[in-house]
Amino acid sequence: MTESDRKLFIVSNRLPIIIGVEDDQWKVNPSSGGLITALAPLMKKNHGTWLGWPGCGPEAPVEELLEKYSREQEYTLKSVAITDVEVEHYYRGFSNQTIWPLFHDLLGYCSFDAENWNYYNRVNERFAAEVVKLIGPDHFVWIHDYQLILVAHYLRELKANLHLNFFLHIPFPACDLLQRMPWRSEIVYGLLQYDHLGFQTNHDRRNFIQCVKTMIPEASVKGYRQQSEVRLEGRTIKLGTYPISIDFHEFNDFAASKEVADAAWFVHENLPSRKLVLGVDRLDYTKGIPERFLAFERALEKYPDLHRHISLVQIVVPSRTKVPEYRDLKEVLDTLSGRINGRFSRQGWVPIHYMFRELNRTQLLGYYRACEVALITPLRDGMNLVAKEYCASSVENDGILILSEFAGAADQLQKGALMVNPYDLEGTADAIYAAFVMTEEERRRRMRTLRGEIRRNDVQRWIEWFLKSDEGG
Ligand code: GDG
């Protein structure tokens, strides 16, 4: 079956929509995000299906709303119901307080709670049961991300004879770290119930292979550069590296529009005569925002000629605010930005402009275009799409990307970016200064490299890579 014949059957924790009330009426709006933008044309073309949690409770007439929306979109959305208590344990608990921090190397944030694990199993089992109800023989089943690692295991229990694909959007940890999790073997064995596993980087894939070798000794592994194979219980599981990307042309073209140019002009008009350094992140302790504030403070200490001539614009999008660690992080950011601004601000100049809110797309691209530098310093990140979006929106071809070596995007972008270790405040402060004094010629040379890389390896290529690699096996 070729790529265009396949009916995609996508499974993810959340459906790519937001259900809400507008003018006293239930409304379904598409959620933003690269995955949906990239998949939508293919989903429409072959009338695919997307299964996931709609993100709301039983008060909304979900089935009716999804049916109507599906007719309009030409592909089908199907929902899995998750109760509040399940959201608490499966989603906030096991997914976001165990797997998320552990897979980002942040053991100190992990809780290992057996009740959460039980709920994680129960909800994954429910997803599997829904897949079985809806699946057809010509479907290409593609399950996404860390919330749904065990779906294949439950599909095998249901004796569903399906070819199963999985993509992990977050990093995969080193074996030493995963060993700390009481259910480590179930996780690794569960992943091996898929037929084809996709990772963001070779490093993640190698970490997984190391875990297989250590925890599942009866498995045998054959490695190739971008792909490997595991043999287990008479099955072959293909492992590949597929760095996710963005729709380069969509960002480039929208960034070049008058609407975005006006938004960018407005940003600089309000913050005149200085270079702007941009940070955009979901509120998350993996994104290294406090470290970024401290590195910026260090740059101001070390390089007084930056005073009055540079500001950090930090946008933090509210996220997972019901998880205590995320609320604590918000407090840390409030305090740090206040302290640093109190220390350095002078009349007409505030060093850190910190906004805790979500922007619309025009505003976001306005910031991407207006800011001379992007400072993207996650402690660990599966990929980091903001880094790629910033470059694709740099239509004047002269923005500067400072990027953490621990972002998955580092593999592809290190040739054009200034690379930093986010834990190294001195080094990051020096990179901020290097960006401040960089010549126009070097800025353009670096940004050309970055944009060329992202244009060549866009999200369409990511999908094709994944689908074709599966065909090849
Ligand atoms: C996970 C992995 C991996 C941000 N602020 C606003 C806004 N955004 C959009 C960006 C971007 C997305 O959110 C963030 O994507 P990232 O990749 O940077 O990070 P995660 O959300 O953690 O995503 C990550 C990704 O999955 C894909 O595999 O790269 O490593 O952690 O698209 O544009 N969008 C709008 N307003 C904002 O204020 N509209």
* Centroid of ligand 1 to alpha carbon of 288 (angstroms): 15
Q: Which amino acid is at 75?
A: Y
Q: Encode the chain in three state secondary structure.
A: CCHHHCEEEEEEEECCEEEEEECCEEEEEECCCHHHHHHHHHHHHCCCEEEEECCCCCCCCHHHHHHHHHHHHCCEEEECCCCHHHHHHHHHHHHHHHHHHHHCCCHHHCCCCHHHHHHHHHHHHHHHHHHHHHCCCCEEEEEECHHHCCHHHHHHHCCCCCCEEEECCCCCCCHHHHCCCCCHHHHHHHHCCCCEEEECCHHHHHHHHHHHHHHCCCCEEEECCCEEEEEECCEEEEEEECCCCCCHHHHHHHHCCHHHHHHHHHHHHHCCCCEEEEEEEECCHHHCHHHHHHHHHHHHHHCHHHCCCEEEEEEEECCCCCCHHHHHHHHHHHHHHHHHHHHHCECCECCEEEEECCCCHHHHHHHHHHCCEEEECCCCECCCHHHHHHHHCCCCCCCEEEEECCECCHHHHCCCCEEECCCCHHHHHHHHHHHHHCCHHHHHHHHHHHHHHHHHCCHHHHHHHHHHHHHCC
CATH of domain 248-456: 3.40.50.2000
Instruction: Give CATH 3.40.50.2000 domain extents, the chain.
Output: 7-244+460-468, 248-456
The token duo for 201 is 């980087």
* Centroid of ligand 1 to alpha carbon of 251 (angstroms): 14
Return per-residue pLDDT of the chain as tens, 473 residues.
Answer: 455 567 999 999 999 999 989 889 999 988 866 677 778 878 888 889 999 999 988 889 999 999 999 999 999 999 999 999 999 999 999 999 999 999 999 999 999 999 999 999 999 999 999 999 999 888 999 999 999 999 999 999 998 889 999 999 999 999 999 999 999 999 999 999 999 999 999 999 999 999 999 999 999 999 877 789 999 999 999 999 999 999 999 999 999 999 999 999 999 998 888 999 999 999 999 999 999 999 999 999 999 999 999 999 999 999 888 888 889 999 999 999 999 999 999 999 999 999 999 999 999 999 999 999 999 999 999 999 999 999 999 999 999 999 999 999 999 999 999 999 999 999 999 999 999 999 999 999 999 999 999 999 999 999 999 999 887 54
CATH of domain 7-244+460-468: 3.40.50.2000
CA 386 to CA 7: how far, in whole Å? 30
Q: 238, 229 in Cβ contact below 8 A?
A: yes
pTM above 0.85, yes or no: yes
Length of the chain: 473
* Centroid of ligand 1 to alpha carbon of 385 (angstroms): 6
* Centroid of ligand 1 to alpha carbon of 372 (angstroms): 20
Ligand 1 and 145: CB distance under 6 A: no
Ligand 1 and 399: CB distance under 6 A: no
Q: What residue owns the CA closest to ligand 1's atom 3?
A: 383
- 328 given a catalytic annotation: no
Ligand 1 and 247: CB distance under 6 A: no
Q: How many CB atoms lie within 10 A of CB 372?
A: 20
Closest ligand 1 atom to 169 CA: 28
- 104 given a catalytic annotation: no
* Residue in 169, 203, 307, 353 annotated catalytic: 169
Q: What residue owns the CA closest to ligand 1's atom 28?
A: 169
The token duo for 124 is 């994954």
Ligand 1 and 410: CB distance under 6 A: no
Q: What residue owns the CA closest to ligand 1's atom 30?
A: 382
